[in-house]
Amino acid sequence: MVVRVKNEIKIDESFYKVEEIRQLTNETFSVRLPKARFRFRAGQHISLSIQGDYQSREYSIYSGENDENLEVLVKEVQGGYFTPKLRKLKPGALVEVHGPFGKFRIDENYRDTHKHIFIASGTGIAPFRSMVRTYPELDYTLIHGVRQGDEAYDRHEYADGRYIQCTSRDKQGDYHGRLTGYLKEAQFPTDSRFYLCGNSDMIFDALEILKEKGFERDQIHCEVYF
């Protein structure tokens, strides 16, 4: 909200100036904001709107808890209402941020002792990058389902052997085929902690596969985007 105080314009604390729109692929970009006083836990999401626009959308936080910027990773949805406008913003544009929201966070009871299996489709990788940046000692494997090899957003940040890209439309990935195909073939320690994030079809299928492999529902956390 913009409040007029006498002749000055005071900008509400929930408004942030865009620092950078970082284009990662033709369709996917990140929005970098100053972190200011914003506090969150890795895995949580924010609600974002553009100044002067009445609609808002939710985005997982892509940056780590201790990073200098607050960053989100966004896929431009063709024909979508919000994402084409967001992508066109220039540095200095104002966006409104609310949150943080959500309980999709690393369970501290298992954080230092258990293997974490992160399962993401597309931009569903966002909360996992935040977790990995926040907890560098975490024992994890990140399984990322995308269409093409160029969708391995910031892959170089993950230590060797921790990031497994599954590509369904080209052969550039570590695994050629759908993420669910990889999950069926893979073996995980029986006490692994699973975190699933992305579209509901992937999450539903992955839950079924993990159930068939004998994992309990309370070992599995989910964040559904759409």
Ligand X SMILES: Cc1cc2nc3c(=O)[nH]c(=O)nc-3n(C[C@H](O)[C@H](O)[C@H](O)COP(=O)(O)OP(=O)(O)OC[C@H]3O[C@@H](n4cnc5c(N)ncnc54)[C@H](O)[C@@H]3O)c2cc1C
Could you list the residues that contact ligand X (CB under 6 A)? 45, 57-60, 72-75, 77, 80-83, 122-123, 126, 223, 225-226
Q: Which residue is nearest to ligand X (CB)?
A: 80
- Of residues 74 and 95, the one with the C-beta less far from ligand X: 74
Shortest distance in whole angstroms from residue 54 CB to ligand X: 12
Shortest distance in whole angstroms from residue 13 CB to ligand X: 22
Shortest distance in whole angstroms from residue 160 CB to ligand X: 26
Integer CA distances (angstroms), 11 to 21, 35, 51, 148, in order? 22, 16, 11, 41
Integer CA distances (angstroms), 44 to 2, 103, 160, in order? 26, 7, 26
- Of residues 139 and 154, the one with the C-beta less far from ligand X: 154
Shortest distance in whole angstroms from residue 216 CB to ligand X: 24
Burial class (CB in 10 A: 0-12, 13-18, 19+), 209: middle
CA pair distance 115, 57, nearest whole angstrom = 32
The reply to whether omega before 34 is within 30° of 0 (cis) is: no
Shortest distance in whole angstroms from residue 199 CB to ligand X: 7
- Of residues 48 and 117, the one with the C-beta less far from ligand X: 48
- Of residues 124 and 173, the one with the C-beta less far from ligand X: 124
- Of residues 65 and 139, the one with the C-beta less far from ligand X: 65
Helix, strand or coil, per DSSP, at residue 131: helix
Q: Residue ranges of the alpha helices (H) in 90-142? A: 126-134
